[in-house]
Amino acid sequence: MARMINLRIWRGDSTDGALQDVQVEANEGEVVLDVIHRVQATQIGDLAVRWNCKAGKCGSCSMEINGKPRLACMTQVAAYGAEETITVTPLRAFPVIKDLVTDVSFNYRKAMEIPAYAHPTDLAPGEARMEQIDVERSQEFRKCIECFLCQDTCHVIRDHEEKKKSFAGPRFFIRIAELDMHPLDTLRNRKKTAQEEHGLGMCNITKCCTEVCPEHIRITDNAIIPMKERVVDIKYDPVRWLGAKIRKREGIL
C-alpha cells in the first residue's frame, strides 16, 4: 500500500548547499533509492545520485541516511516510522560533487599505493596449488564491494582531513591483510609498510567500519587486529623478532 513520506535531501555542491524537504509516495517494499528516483522523476529532475545495480553488489549508492552510512538500495523505507522524516545526505568524509554524489577518488589513489600480489618466481603459471583452509581467511575480504562506507565512517578519514595522506583506511587494511595472509604471496614487508606507510597504527579499533559493512566483513576482528598483532611480531616483540631471524620462520617478516 502506498503512503506519503517526508524526505529531506541535501542539495548543493562544494561551494554551498542545504537540506530540501520533499514529500514523495513510497510503495510497500520499496527502498530509499526507489523514492529518491521517484523524487528525481517527478519533482527534482536534476537531482544527482550515483547508482547502478540496485542489488547491494556494486557499491555505488553509498550515502548517509539519517546520519548513518548506508547503501540506499538496501535500506527499506519501512524501517523508518510513518511520521519520521528520512534525511539523506552525501557521504560526509569525501568532497561533494553535486547533491548526493561525492568524489571518492581518494580511495582509488590509496588502492594504487598497495603493492600487488607477488607470485613465487619458482612457480610457473598453472603450477600454483593452495589448500582451501589456507585461502578461506582471505576469501572473506574478497567479498568487499568497494562501497567505501567503511572509509566514510572511519573517524580518522572523516574527522581528520590532514591524515588522509598517511592513512589508507579500513578498506585497504583488509586488502593488505588479504595479501599478507595469502599462502603464496612473496612480498616480505607488508607488515612493516602497513604500519609505517599506510597508517595502521592510526586505527584505534573503534569498529565503526565493521558496523557499517553491508557485506558483514569482520574488518576489525579479522583484518585490522590480526595485522596489528603481526606488526607487534616484527616491531614490538623482540622475542618473536629474534626467533624469526634465527630460525627464518615462515611468514613473519
Partner 1 sequence: MIENGGLVMSGVFSPTRARIKERTLRTDKWWLQPAITFGVLFSFVIYATFRAFENKYYFSEPLISPFYSPCLSAACEPGTALSLFGQPFNNKYFGIGISPALFILIFPLGFRMTCYYYRKAYYRAFWMSPPACAVAEPHTKYTGETRAPLILQNSHRWFFYAGLVFNVILTWDTILAFRNGDKEWGHMSVGTLVFLFSTSMLWMYSLSCHTCRHTLGGRLKHFSKHPLRYKAWTIVSVLNHKHPTFAWISLFGVASADIYVRAVASGAIPNLYFF
Enumerate binding residues for partner 1 (CB under 8 A). 10, 12, 14, 16-19, 64, 66-69, 84, 87, 89-90, 92-96, 102, 131, 133-134, 152-153, 155-156, 158-163, 181-183, 199, 201-208, 211-212, 221, 225-226, 228-233, 235-237, 250-252
Minimum gap (Å) between residue 131 Cβ and partner 1 = 4
CB-wise, 29 or 67, nearer to partner 1?
Answer: 67
Looking at the Cβ atoms of 53 and 236, the one nearer to partner 1 is: 236
Shortest distance, position 213 Cβ to partner 1, whole Å: 11
* 19 versus 41: smaller Cβ distance to partner 1: 19
Please give the Cα distance from 225 to 221 (Å, whole number).
Answer: 6
C-alpha closest to that of 37 among 19, 50, 21 = 50
CB-nearer residue toward partner 1: 27 or 105: 105
101: how many CB neighbours lie within 10 A of its CB?
Answer: 19
Q: How many other C-beta atoms lie within 10 A of the C-beta of residue 86?
A: 21
Min CB(159)–partner 1 separation in Å: 4
Cell numbers 561533494 label which residue? 96
- When computed from its CA atoms, the radius of gyration of the chain, rounded to whole angstroms, is 22
Reported as type and span, the H/E element at residue 19 is: strand 17-26
- Residue identified by cell 567479498 is 143
